[in-house]
Amino acid sequence: MSVKKALISVSDKTGLIPFARRLAAAGVEIISTGGTASLLKEAGVPVIGISEVTGFPEILDGRVKTLHPNIHSGLLAVRDNEAHQKQLEELQIETIDLVVVNLYPFKETIAKPDVTFEEAIENIDIGGPTMLRSAAKNHAFVSVVVDAADYETVATEIETSKDTTLETRRRLAAKVFRHTAAYDALISRYLSEQVGELLPESFTVTYEKAQDLRYGENPHQRAAFYREPLAGTASIAYAEQLHGKELSYNNINDADAALAIVREFSEPAVVAIKHSNPCGVGIGTTIREAYQKAYEADAVSIFGGIVAANRTIDRDTALAMKEIFLEIILAPDFTEEALEVLTEKKNLRLLRIPTLNEALVKENHFRVAPVAGGALVQDYDLKQLEEAEVRVVTDRQPTEEEMEQLKFAWKVVKHVKSNAILLAKDNMTVGVGAGQMNRVGSAKIAIEQAKDLAKGSVLASDAFFPMSDTVEAAAEAGITAIIQPGGSVRDQESIDACNRFGIAMIFTGTRHFKH
């Protein structure tokens, strides 16, 4: 067997001319269509027009050109099947040994902010995926290329042996079906959104590999990092690494958690993360002040942590950050002076996300969480306090300062693993209790961490109090105001306890579990 005839029809023409010239020099006849054929002819590469093979013109503005028995019979015929070969001879159809196709740019089209529905539809490729699937199905005999990165391997093997190896053809066929599956997933998602089918009977998602990782959560686990094709750029998936060693699985997971919190704030804010939970969050009039508050919130846990800021890191802030061991600092930007300071630390990763303060999650995008044998799909938790049904349920109203601290605490507690209790004071977190099996346990951890700072602080809880024990613990610590969703059948017990201790309490009507 040898590659004698190739069909080339590509939207992305990167690297095509050198590749086609190598094929022609190796004696491969090239069939082509439309713009691809014109480009090859201009480059001096001999080309057979698709109509010469089909005996039929390209019609309907190019919608129909390769959908023809002369093409697909040439691709799908089993070469060592005598009946197939006899039918080809009778019908005077020649086999096609190599298909080089990439598809209409559907993803790029729908990513445009002003795209029309009609434009999106016209960029759904029909003939391309059909040829790819035909060739990939018959990969025992046909080579199929969908990625310019494979041009070198295919050309070299043909030049050396006049054909590709079966191993190469199998690898390329697998890539084709991954490619067409991803392409169809984007189309189905787009059309489902257009008709309001947000959680349809089948839910297909696709991701594109950003990088391989050294390992997963632990060294014995394999891992890679993928990005969502149409996600916003205000994410770790699109961060530019300016300095430091390669990111790990846990780095990426924690950095994502830091970004989720810091985006809650419009004022200068800094978030320190350990194991996906905030260990310190601060806001201030400057990013330097915000960092100092985040540091003082838990000067022990921030060591070895990940820090996210929503303002450019300047030299003064960089000098403060340099004093301790941090894994990652991420921000919209760094001044040149800040980079000079921070790049002195060899392993410190510096990530720049210029769009950090922009919205990340588009409307009707969902979070997918795999479970054994399936997946859970839900909206992102984007609800703000301004959208909640806030009401004071105690005799005492919170003061203006308490209200500001309660709002601050509420923005952070939604990002703490449940059961979550968070104490805040002076625009910083002072105690965080996360992931305990009961709520009063989380409260005791937060109070113990806060020590003397608990007195005069406010408390936020991600879910209701099932009984009054958390209020009693708060009162003993000197906490003056509480914000929580409410909704327990025993809410009145907590309200009565707050009234007894002179604590102001707000119900939001919104729960923020995070598991």
Catalytic-role residue among 68, 137, 162, 383: 137
> Exactly one of 4, 68, 84, 275 is catalytic; which is it?
275
pLDDT tens digits for 231-267? Answer: 778 889 889 999 999 999 999 999 999 999 999 999 9
Contact 440, 470 (CB under 8 A): yes
Q: Dihedrals φ, ψ of 242, to 5°? A: -95, -25
Q: What is the pLDDT of residue 364?
A: 61
Which pLDDT value is given to residue 147?
A: 95
In this structure, are residues 235 and 362 in contact, taking their beta carbons and an 8 Å threshold? no
What pLDDT sits at residue 386? 82
Reported as a single tens digit per residue, the pLDDT across 165-174 is 999 999 999 9
End-to-end CA separation in angstroms for the chain: 57
Q: Residue 260's pLDDT is what?
A: 92
Full-model pTM: 0.85
Instruction: Provide the pLDDT for residue 363.
Output: 58
Q: Which two tokens stand for residue 465?
A: 């109090």
DSSP letter assigned to residue 415: T
Angstrom distance (rounded) from CA 27 to CA 228? 41
Owner of token pair 């787009």: 190
Sheet of 458-461: strand order equals 240-243, 349-352, 326-331, 305-309, 269-274, 277-283, 428-433, 421-425, 458-461, 481-484, 504-507, 391-392
Give backbone dihedrals phi and psi of 163, rounded to 5 degrees, phi first. Answer: -155, 165
Query: CA quadruple 390, 393, 395, 396: dihedral positive or negative?
Result: negative
Q: E-assigned strands of 183-276?
A: 208-212, 224-227, 240-243, 269-274
**So what's the pLDDT on residue 375?**
87
Please list the pLDDT of the chain residue by residue as tens digits (515 residues). 789 999 999 999 999 999 999 999 999 999 998 889 999 999 999 999 888 888 888 778 778 888 888 899 889 999 888 899 998 889 998 999 999 999 999 999 999 989 999 999 999 999 999 999 999 999 999 999 999 999 999 999 999 999 999 999 999 999 999 999 999 999 999 999 899 888 889 888 899 999 999 999 999 999 999 998 887 788 898 899 999 999 999 999 999 999 999 999 999 999 999 999 999 999 999 999 999 999 999 999 999 999 999 999 999 999 999 999 999 999 999 999 999 999 999 999 999 999 998 876 555 678 888 889 998 888 888 888 888 889 999 999 999 999 999 999 999 999 999 899 999 999 999 999 998 888 999 999 999 999 999 999 999 999 999 999 999 999 999 999 999 999 999 999 999 999 999 999 999 998 888 88
275 is catalytic: yes
* Pairing mode of beta strands 98-102, 143-145: parallel
| Contact present, 34 and 11 (Cβ < 8 Å) | no
CA distance 242 to 339: 9
* Distances from the Cα of 308 to the Cα of 284, 351, 445, angstroms: 14, 9, 24
- Burial label for 504, CB within 10 Å (0-12, 13-18, 19+), is buried
Question: Known catalytic residue: 137?
Answer: yes
Residue-level pLDDT at 432: 95
